[in-house]
Structure 1
Amino acid sequence: MNIDKDTILGLLRGNDQNERADQAAAELPDQVDTDAHAGLLEKFGINPADLIAKFTGGGGAPGGGQSGLGGLLGKIL
């Protein structure tokens, strides 16, 4: 699944992870493929499966979806 880089940067900045967001801005392509760029997403603390679930209406990770950004995805979107 492709997700706009600005969406990912917003998630990071919304969690006061500005340094990670700045680094991600320099390293991620404009359109992030959750499969091809899974390693980069994980480097910035984002679980690709949780990200996909958020944009497809899924429930996220087992156990309440609290992985990746400390459960931030469920709070923002």
Structure 2
Amino acid sequence: MEIDKSQILEQLRGLGKHDEAKQAESELPDKVDTDKHADLLQKFGINPQDLLGKLGGLFGR
């Protein structure tokens, strides 16, 4: 699944991970594929499955 980089940055900032958000902003593509970029997401402390669960809840509203 593809997710906008901005949503990932927002989640990192919401968790207080501002340094990781800055780094992710420069390293992640604009559209992040949760399968293809799983290693990058984990580098920033994001579990792709957790991310999908949280975003799924937002889309399900």
Normalized against structure 1, the TM-score is what?
0.70
| Larger relative contact order (CA 8 Å, sep ≥ 6) | 2
Equivalent position SS for 2:40? helix
Once superposed, what is the RMSD of the aligned Cα atoms? Answer: 0.9
Q: Which residue of 2 aligns with 1:22?
A: 22
Normalized against structure 2, the TM-score is what?
0.86
| Bigger radius of gyration | 1
Unaligned runs of 5+ in 2: none
For these two proteins, the number of residue pairs brought into alignment is 57
Q: Which residue of 2 aligns with 1:8?
A: 8
Question: Percent of aligned positions with the same letter in both sequences?
Answer: 60
Distance 2:49 2:35 in 1: 9
